[in-house]
Amino acid sequence: MPEKTDYRMTAEEFRRHGKAMVDWIADYYARIESFPVLSQAKPGQIRAALPKSAPEHGETFDSMMKDVESVILPGVTHWQSPNFFAYFPSNTSYPSILGELLSAGLDVQGMLWATSPACTELETHVLDWLVESLALPEKFKSSSAGGGVIQDTASSSSLCALLAARERATAYASNENGCDGRLVAYTSSQAHSSIEKAAMVAGIGRANLRLVPVDEKFAMRPEALAAAIQQDIAAGRVPFFVCATLGTTSSNGMDPLPAIGAICREQSIWLHVDGAMSGTAALCPEFCWIQDGLEFADSYTFNPHKWMFTNFDCNCFYVADRKALIHTLSILPEYLRNQATESGAVIDYRDWHIQLGRRFRALKLWFVIRHYGLEGLRFHIRRHIELAQKFASWVSEDSDFELAAPAPLNLVCFRHRGGDGINETIMSRLNKSGDLYLTHTKLRDRMTLRMCIGQTNTELRHVEQAWKRIREEANAAKKLSQSAR
């Protein structure tokens, strides 16, 4: 055998395999309903099927795809199945997948405007589009004092908001000297765990994050927030950050922004709003009410990677005052200096988040918005909400079940009236069956099932079938518990 002098994949091979991969993905979507939605793999199963060491000699593309079928697919939970109703969705669409492919193909690293002007300018532009499309406050536009950036996740954005708030509250001294333990942050007892993590990472400390009680709709009680702030001020502490949520993870609770915003303004506290999944609903004018009061916010985040048909990861983060964010996160070593930056005429997104390097995520979001158009996005969001409302009506009409929380959008929290045990059995039997996947939470200490409708290809028949299966498993679980007595 002649000695190998080049190990790269040729352009011809890439063309052939690339086309085959696109076909594979289209076929995957065509057969996705034949897989159990929740992977039935046992711990260690996937690793046990993989060779102990990396191959010394390169392998063929076909052999890799064979292993994808036999080793990888059994270990995949099919988030893109139309029968996926768990957590919040992490949906995608063909234009998004193509945008992601293009981004991988160009593979630019857009840390500075100069390292790929299109990466920065398309991002700024698409985020400005979304300010208009979602009817967000003008102050989040790049033409104002604020602006938007795409980050990996809502968790990262909330951390950045907390850091900027920390610096603003301490006249940028905490970056120099660390925190002195007096700063206090607030969020509701129903807020996402990423806020607690942000308090840990930012050196605020968990003990200095107050979890404000909620009302019967699982929304933050503003009078409880005001009281907590007063108590902290009286104790010599410094309230500096409030995170309100539009669409809490457990129950889609909507914190009342106008009242919370007024408190924050009076006390000069940074208001961050986490609209993770639900923020996308504001594409439809009839659901814009969820962001009433957003004009009080210093920062806002939501995830196109949850409900806007754009594959993970893609999170939009807006600030009202970009200077505060940039001042907080900017460090300019000599090796990154360049004329464009010095001129002050460009955005360098490296200063808008934690890490330096950044992917060209705007491409896929741009592809999605251009493919669907705003009318197409609205059509499918409305469809999901309509399906969820239908499901909620079936639950409330069935005497065995009850709604556990209001269902303002596409998440329905419900439970069997028979108690925690029967709900646990229903969920575990459904998920084991592979027919659909749903997850749970605890509301007022009671086991609650969550049915979230947001996968791109979910239609009425999937939701009807899910309800049929839920009732079947409820009957089976009832019989099991009767025979055990």
Ligand X SMILES: Cc1ncc(COP(=O)(O)O)c(C=O)c1O
Residues lying near ligand X in the complex (CB under 6 A) are found at 88, 153-155, 192, 194, 245, 248-249, 274, 276-277, 303, 315
Bridge-partner residues for 244, per DSSP? 273
Question: In the 8-state DSSP scheme, what is residue 70?
Answer: I
Q: Which is nearer to ligand X, 303 or 341 (CB)?
A: 303
Q: Which is nearer to ligand X, 303 or 328 (CB)?
A: 303
Which residue is associated with the tokens 């234009």?
95
Asked if residue 89 lies in contact with residue 307, where contact means CB atoms within 8 angstroms, the answer is: yes
Q: Which two tokens stand for residue 402?
A: 């009850």
Range 41-58 burial, b when 16+ CB lie within 10 A, else e:
beeeeeeeeeeeeeeeee
Give yes or no for a contact between 253 and 351, defined as CB atoms under 8 angstroms apart. Answer: no
Least Cα distance to 212 among 235, 172, 242, 182 occurs for 242
Q: Where are the beta strands (DSSP E) in 354-468?
A: 401-403, 411-416, 439-443, 446-452
| Closest distance of CB 152 from ligand X, Å | 7
The least distance separating ligand X from the CB of residue 36, rounded to whole angstroms, comes to 23
Residue 78 or 450: which CB sits closer to ligand X? 450
Task: Give me the residue label for tokens 């990861």.
Answer: 313
Nearer to ligand X, 196 or 386 (CB): 196
Nearer to ligand X (CB atom), residue 113 or residue 186: 186
Nearest residue (CB) to ligand X, 338 versus 439? 439
Cα angle 106, 112, 118; round to 5 = 45
CB of 405 to ligand X, least distance (A): 14
- The minimum distance between CB 193 and ligand X, in angstroms, equals 8
Residues 453, 412: Cα–Cα separation, whole Å:
8
